[in-house]
Amino acid sequence: MKNLLIACSLLLAVFATAQTSTKTNSAQVPMVLTTFDTIKLQAPDTLGGKPLMQAISRRKTDRSFDSRNLSLKHLSEILWVANGVNRAKGKRTVPSAMGLYPLQTYAVLANGIYLYNPLKQQLEPVIKGDFRNLAGTQNFVEVAPLNLLFIAKARNANDNFQSAIMDSGYCGQNVYLYCASEGLRTVVRASAKDAELLKVMNLGSNYKFILAQTVGY
C-alpha cells in the first residue's frame, strides 16, 4: 500500500511538472503571422503570474526593446488586461465612469493594424502593412513587436474626451502590472503621429488618439 501511495505521488508530481512546463513553453513560443486575418486570442490564465504586490514592486518603464515577437499567450493576455471582459454583461478589466467604455484598443503589429474585440476576445484586421513607425516618434516603436493604441470616438459634438483620457490611464497601468509579472518591457506614451494614423486607419474627425503603449522584450 505504501509503495502504491509513493507511486501515485510521483505520477502526480510528474503531471504537475508537465503542466507547468506546457504553460511556460506557450509563453515562450513567438507568434508567426503569415496571413492578415482575424486573430483568435487565447483565454487568459487567471491563476498565473506573480502576486499583485510583487508585480507592483517591479512595475517600471523601459525604452529599449528588441524585435522578438510576442507569444500568442502574451499578446492575448496583454489585450485582455488592457480592456478585456472579465465578468457578465460585458464588464471589463478596467473601470469606466458610468460604464461608458469609450476607448477602442488597437494593436499595431509588424504585419498590420488590428482592432481588439473584447466581447469575442479576438483581433480584427483593419489595414495590412507595417505602420509601427506611426505609433510614436521614438525609434523603439519600429523595433518593438507591439504598440497599443487607445482611441476614442466622440459621443457627441461637445465630447471633450475626459472620460476616455481617464480610462486610458487604467488600461495602461494594467498593462504595466502584467508586464512586470511576465518579465516584459513597456512604456506608455502620449505622443504618436496621430493625424497620419487616423488617416491610415480610415477614422474620421470624430475619433481622437488618446494614448499609446509599446510592449516587448
134: closest CA among 175, 187, 195? 195
Please work out, in degrees rounded to the nearest 5, the angle formed at the alpha carbon of residue 108 by the alpha carbons of 174 and 131: 150
The answer to whether residues 102 and 156 touch, using CB atoms and an 8 Å cutoff, is: no
What is the mean pLDDT of the segment spanning 69-90? 97
pLDDT tens-digit series, residues 145-188: 999 999 999 888 888 999 999 999 999 999 999 999 999 999 99
Contact 42, 23 (CB under 8 A): no
pTM exceeds 0.75, yes or no = yes
What are the DSSP E strand ranges found in 135-178?
146-153
DSSP designation for 99: G
pLDDT digits (tens, 9 = 90+) for 94-152: 999 888 899 999 999 999 999 999 999 999 999 999 999 999 999 999 999 999 999 99
Checking if the pLDDT of 14 tops 50, the result is: no
DSSP 129: S
